[in-house]
Amino acid sequence: TGLGRGRQMDACFRLLREVQAQAGPGRGPDVVTFNAMIGACLECGEPARALEVYSEMVSGGVHPNGHTFSSVLRSAGLMGDAKRAMGLFQELRGWGVAADEVTYSCLIRALAEGGEWEAAFQHFQDLQAAGGRPNVVVHNSLLTACERSEQWAAALQVLRDMQSQGMEPNNITYNTVLSTLAKCKRLDVAVELFEEMKASRSPAVQPDLITYSTLLTGCDRVGRWELAMELFQEMQKKGEEADVIACNALISVLGKGGKGGMALQVFEDMKSMWMIADVVTYNTLIRALGTCGMWEEALQILQDMRDVGWRPDHYTYVAIISALGRGRQVERALALFQQAVTEGVAVDAPMYNALVAACSRSGQWHWAEREVEAMKKAGLQPTVATYMALLDGLRRGAQGDRALEVFVELRGEAIQPS
């Protein structure tokens, strides 16, 4: 466990093998040993290896227990593998292990990550039907399932059910519902719920830093930067100290609102508050500036980012290429794309899409065509966004016939036109 927390996976495995080598009658790795190993794999961000250890454990005749299953269910969740999670839950039954609240929260969480919100509800109801009384955490996990699958009405219903059953929702409960509403662009409902939190008599329910950040994201989704600013100030007035995540969310919403200058100001304020701007901050700011047409400033921020020692990642490149595209700076966009390749940053569809869009916006439809070809050659399937960017270029270049051909082509690739 200690080695796992210290991200020393290899050392964990060496230790496990050592224990196995010294195994004798009544001596050797037991459930707890294996559970600790599985937990260490999770700690190190290796859910697949966690599942391998589990297989090794059961094939070695060691009986898994409840802890084992919660960990392997979490592993399946991290891999977004709902099927596997359901299979593991069956295995738990086969071993005669009792499923408790932790087991259910992990199972529901795994189903959530796999997008299987209906299955999550099904298991939740099974638990209730079996006479179980899911606790707050299990409810919150179910809400996470709603959040991931963007089921805001279901999420609200879960909250109301909790209240009518006399179960005390906590901040996490409210924040998860708010996040669902934000994702579904229901800021109106979110604000109502926020008011409900403020009016709550429960000490466990009071808007916190996460509540405010969630609302900022909600504002971002619907382009309400003024409200976002108000909320941010209200938060500070209440003594909640803004963190990097909240500032990043604020920068994002300001960018979408066309307030590049204000976004830059937030960035400056962060520095004066000794806050460490992280990679997300830089990426968000670059995107914000790009959205506002401020590509020169965006390039400057990219430089600053490097100067302070951050490595641009693929979000950075997508943001900067798209910023340059908006500024009709194709050559620069192409150069930066090349740089991404040189630096070993994974080139994916979004990056090509931004590049194709940059070509198109600059009126270089034949370059756009060339990049789409390059994309295919790289083994990447063009997406709707790719075709939209390409069609935009053909439209600008008055290439009607070619546009029709491309349209037929995309239909043939079973791409759903918007």
Partner RNA sequence: CCCCACGCGACUGUUACG
Taking CB under 7 A as the criterion, which residues in 317-336 touch RNA?
318-319, 322, 325
Which is closer to RNA, CB of 384 or CB of 404? 384
Size, binding site for RNA by CB under 7 A: 80
Nearest approach, Cβ of residue 21 and RNA (Å): 19
Burial class (CB in 10 A: 0-12, 13-18, 19+), 80: middle
Which is closer to RNA, CB of 185 or CB of 300? 185
* Of 61, 80, 64, 106, residue with least CA distance to 37: 64
Give the range of 243-251, 261-269, 302-310, 335-343 binding RNA by CB under 7 A.
Answer: 243-251
Distances (CA, A) of 282 to 120, 228, 248, 286: 37, 20, 9, 6
Q: Residue 42 is encoded by which pair of tokens?
A: 């999770």
Nearest approach, Cβ of residue 300 and RNA (Å): 17
Which is closer to RNA, CB of 226 or CB of 287? 287
Within 10 angstroms of residue 418's Cβ, the number of other Cβ atoms is: 7
Nearest approach, Cβ of residue 185 and RNA (Å): 8
Nearest approach, Cβ of residue 219 and RNA (Å): 11
Check residue 147 for interaction with RNA (CB under 7 A): yes
Among 89, 315, 337, 365, contact with RNA (rule: CB under 7 A): 315
Which is closer to RNA, CB of 5 or CB of 59? 5
Q: Give phi and psi for 129, each to the nearest 5.
A: -65, -30
Annotate the chain with three-state secondary structure: CHHHHCCCHHHHHHHHHHHHHCCECCECCCHHHHHHHHHHHHHCCCHHHHHHHHHHHHHCCCCCCHHHHHHHHHHHHHCCCHHHHHHHHHHHHHCCCCCCHHHHHHHHHHHHHCCCHHHHHHHHHHHHHCCCCCCHHHHHHHHHHHHHCCCHHHHHHHHHHHHHCCCCCCHHHHHHHHHHHHHCCCHHHHHHHHHHHHHCCCCCCCCCHHHHHHHHHHHHHHCCHHHHHHHHHHHHHCCCCCCHHHHHHHHHHHHHCCCHHHHHHHHHHHHHCCCCCCHHHHHHHHHHHHHCCCHHHHHHHHHHHHHCCCCCCHHHHHHHHHHHHHCCCHHHHHHHHHHHHHCCCCCCHHHHHHHHHHHHHCCCHHHHHHHHHHHHHCCCCCCHHHHHHHHHHHHHCCCHHHHHHHHHHHHHCCCCCC
Among 9, 16, 117, 141, contact with RNA (rule: CB under 7 A): 141
Q: Which of residues 293-312 bind RNA (CB under 7 A)?
A: none
Among 191, 262, 289, 389, contact with RNA (rule: CB under 7 A): 389
Check residue 149 for interaction with RNA (CB under 7 A): no
Q: Which of residues 66-125 bind RNA (CB under 7 A)?
A: 66-71, 74, 100-103, 105-106, 109
Q: Which of residues 19-38 bind RNA (CB under 7 A)?
A: 30-32, 35-36, 38
Nearest approach, Cβ of residue 247 and RNA (Å): 8
Check residue 383 for interaction with RNA (CB under 7 A): yes
Check residue 151 for interaction with RNA (CB under 7 A): no
Which is closer to RNA, CB of 48 or CB of 418? 418
Give the C-alpha separation, 157 to 143, whole Å: 10
Give the range of 48-56, 141-149, 155-163, 334-342 binding RNA by CB under 7 A.
Answer: 141-149
Give the range of 80-88, 116-124, 238-246, 334-342 binding RNA by CB under 7 A.
Answer: 238-246
Check residue 1 for interaction with RNA (CB under 7 A): yes
Among 280, 345, 394, 403, contact with RNA (rule: CB under 7 A): 280
Nearest approach, Cβ of residue 316 and RNA (Å): 7
Among 243, 343, 373, 405, contact with RNA (rule: CB under 7 A): 243
Nearest approach, Cβ of residue 275 and RNA (Å): 12
Check residue 223 for interaction with RNA (CB under 7 A): no
Distances (CA, A) of 27 to 19, 22, 54, 222, 410: 9, 8, 19, 61, 63
Check residue 135 for interaction with RNA (CB under 7 A): yes
Give the range of 118-126, 197-205, 226-234, 350-358 binding RNA by CB under 7 A.
Answer: 350-358
Give the range of 15-23, 166-174, 301-309, 373-381 binding RNA by CB under 7 A.
Answer: 166-174
Among 82, 89, 120, 176, contact with RNA (rule: CB under 7 A): 176
Which is closer to RNA, CB of 135 or CB of 300? 135
Q: Which of residues 186-215 bind RNA (CB under 7 A)?
A: 209-210, 213-214
